[in-house]
A and B are shown apart, each in its own frame.
Chain A
Amino acid sequence: MNPFLGSLELIFSGDREVFQVAATTLRFSFWSTAFSTIPGLILGIALSGHRFPGRRTVAAVVSSLTALPTVVIGLAVYSFISRSGPLGHLGWLFAPAGVILGQTLLALPIVVSLVYTGLSKLDARFAETLITLGAGRFRRLTATLFEAKYVLASAVLNAFGRVTGEVGVSMMLGGNIRWYTRTMTTTIALDTSKGEFERALSLGILLLGISLTVNALVHAAVKHEQ
């Protein structure tokens, strides 16, 4: 069957498992994006707003962390949350919390890096103007954030896109447990290994559709705000 038709059929067939897997993917991605956004914003703003020795080095390190392979993050977190690791008592391995922790660490450098570079591109006169107008620290921050909302939205969307599309962290830390930690990407990996390429491809198209929808919604929201 044509994979495009297949993905439509998957969506409209009312297959409970497909919906459950899609919902799990969205839930994990939502929380890991949320958890990485707040510290990511703070760090990104701190990095762009303050001059301190070694700032460029820190920025370079952060931007190279964005290229960290998911399996490396997965492995590092795995060794911490395994029962035999230092955080083993939490019981997060092969559970949603483990995946969310791993994905949060995956998304964090992306948010920091994009916020930092985005804010660095703002016209330098913008900050000066605010100071000239007598804006206080807090007012300057909120005005900067408002001015840079596209930057922030794109940072968050990039983080979201990265975590919805990753497979290494979900597989290693979630264990691909049916009805529990199975996400769209781990389902695709499983279907591929079982030789069910068409179903895998259909799910891939569905994933792309979800990603596009989320992007469109956020862009529309930002535009509406203007």
Chain B
Amino acid sequence: MKRNVLTFALACLCAASTSGMGGKEQPPANPRIKLATTTSTENSGLLGHILPIFEAKTGYKVDVVAVGTGAALKLGENGDADVVLVHARAQEDAFVAAGHGVDRRDVMYNDFIVLGPASDPAVIGAVKSSTEAFSKIAAAGAIFVSRGDKSGTHVKELDIWKAAGIAPSGAWYKEAGQGMEQVILMANGMPGYTLADRGTWLAVKDKTTLKICYEGDKGLFNPYGIIAVNPAKWPTANYEGAKALIAWITSKEGLAAVEGFKLNGEQLFFTYK
């Protein structure tokens, strides 16, 4: 009985909190879109820059839940998000293949970079590839801070270790289990190396004394894709909203908004032209 009362009261509250929404001319039937994405798109400020344009144009309201790529895909799989914007191509394809998502589109890209102390103790400045850089870090036993959270960046890092034929472990290898900014700041404090996406690096670099020790290899390409949660599997998902967002972000206007996002004069994300 008490639970019923509680449920009822909470339901009332819920209804009251949503009834005040809308107000746009011809608002969509279901105006809230839940976007599960990575910390790199939200915390860099990109979504805060582009989503208001989409919202003003369509009357949708995008609720951003910023987690790692692995967690974002899991939210989509469990029907707790309507659309996901992530960066781990193999996992994205698996997500679609398993029937969790539909309408996958490429959105933008930037690249991963290897950050390290200004003194570059493992001397990776002159190496030819990311795998060679990682091998030298491991061989030197220099501190490396790993995301350790199944994020897109973590997946990329593990791919590089694998390609280098190294199973990282030992006192030098720190699994932080935190977001990108936090991990960069930890690497800054230790100090140590870490793999980061360029967007987050540009957003926090003023707070650190780290530098880019290695960049530019093809393997460090970092593409972002957007996927709608499969409405056949989750009829509760806001598929109309997801479609609208996907259509807008891949439109000329959406891509221009992504291109136009700059931090300290530097562009963070690039689109395919």
Give the interface of A toward B (CB within 8 A).
Answer: 31, 35, 39, 82-84, 88-97, 100-101, 104, 175-178, 180-181, 190, 192-195
Q: Which residues does chain A contribute within 8 Å of B185, judged by CB atoms? A: 195
Is B169 in contact with chain A by the CB < 8 A criterion? no
Known: A83-B237, A177-B63. 14 other contacts (CB 8 A): A35-B6, A35-B9, A90-B11, A94-B65, A96-B14, A97-B11, A97-B13, A97-B17, A100-B10, A101-B10, A176-B66, A177-B65, A193-B43, A194-B203
Those of B135-150 within 8 Å (CB) of chain A: none
User: How far is B75's CA from A88's CA once the two chains are assembled, in angstroms?
Assistant: 13
Q: Which residues does chain A contribute within 8 Å of B181, judged by CB atoms? A: 193-195
Q: Which residues does chain A contribute within 8 Å of B66, judged by CB atoms? A: 176
Residues A83 and B63 in contact, CB atoms below 8 Å apart = no
Nearest chain A CB to B78's CB is how many angstroms away? 4
User: How far is B81's CA from A95's CA once the two chains are assembled, in angstroms?
Assistant: 12
Question: Nearest chain-B residue to A79 (Cβ)?
Answer: B78
10 closest A-B pairs by beta carbon, nearest first, are A83-B79, A175-B65, A97-B14, A84-B78, A195-B207, A177-B63, A193-B182, A194-B181, A193-B179, A195-B185
Number of A-B pairs, beta carbon distance below 8 Å: 71
Those of B1-39 within 8 Å (CB) of chain A: 2, 6, 9-11, 13-14, 17, 34, 39
Chain B interface size band reads 20 to 34
Q: Which residues does chain B contribute within 8 Å of A193, judged by CB atoms? A: 39, 43, 178-179, 181-182
Residues A97 and B10 in contact, CB atoms below 8 Å apart = yes
Is B80 in contact with chain A by the CB < 8 A criterion? yes
Choose one: A39, A94, A97, A100; the contact of B80 (CB below 8 Å): A94
Residues B43 and A194 in contact, CB atoms below 8 Å apart = yes
User: How far is B63's CA from A177's CA once the two chains are assembled, in angstroms?
Assistant: 6
Residues B64 and A178 in contact, CB atoms below 8 Å apart = yes
Give the interface of B toward A (CB within 8 A).
Answer: 2, 6, 9-11, 13-14, 17, 34, 39, 43, 48, 63-66, 78-80, 178-179, 181-182, 185, 203-204, 207, 234, 236-237
Residues A88 and B79 in contact, CB atoms below 8 Å apart = yes
User: How far is B86's CA from A64's CA once the two chains are assembled, in angstroms?
Assistant: 41
Q: Which residues does chain B contribute within 8 Å of A101, judged by CB atoms? A: 10
Q: Which residues does chain B contribute within 8 Å of A194, judged by CB atoms? A: 43, 181, 203-204
Question: Nearest chain-B residue to A190 (Cβ)?
Answer: B43
Question: Nearest chain-A residue to B182 (Cβ)?
Answer: A193
User: How far is B13's CA from A100's CA once the two chains are assembled, in angstroms?
Assistant: 10
Identify 10 residue pairs between A and B in the complex whose beta-carbon atoms are under 8 Å apart, listed by A's number.
A84-B79, A90-B11, A94-B63, A94-B65, A177-B63, A180-B63, A193-B43, A194-B181, A194-B203, A194-B204
Most chain B beta-carbon neighbours within 10 Å: one of A39, A104, A178: A178
Question: Nearest chain-A residue to B77 (Cβ)?
Answer: A84
Q: Which residues does chain B contribute within 8 Å of A192, judged by CB atoms? A: 182
Nearest chain B CB to A108's CB is how many angstroms away? 10
Nearest chain B CB to A85's CB is how many angstroms away? 8
Q: Which residues does chain A contribute within 8 Å of B203, judged by CB atoms? A: 194
Residues B34 and A94 in contact, CB atoms below 8 Å apart = yes
- Given A83-B80, A190-B43, A35 contacting B236 (CB threshold 8 A): no
User: How far is B178's CA from A193's CA once the two chains are assembled, in angstroms?
Assistant: 8
Residues A35 and B10 in contact, CB atoms below 8 Å apart = yes
Residues B14 and A92 in contact, CB atoms below 8 Å apart = yes
Q: Which residues does chain B contribute within 8 Å of A177, judged by CB atoms? A: 63-65
User: How far is B185's CA from A192's CA once the two chains are assembled, in angstroms?
Assistant: 10
Residues B13 and A82 in contact, CB atoms below 8 Å apart = no
User: How far is B88's CA from A163's CA once the two chains are assembled, in angstroms?
Assistant: 36
Residues A96 and B43 in contact, CB atoms below 8 Å apart = no
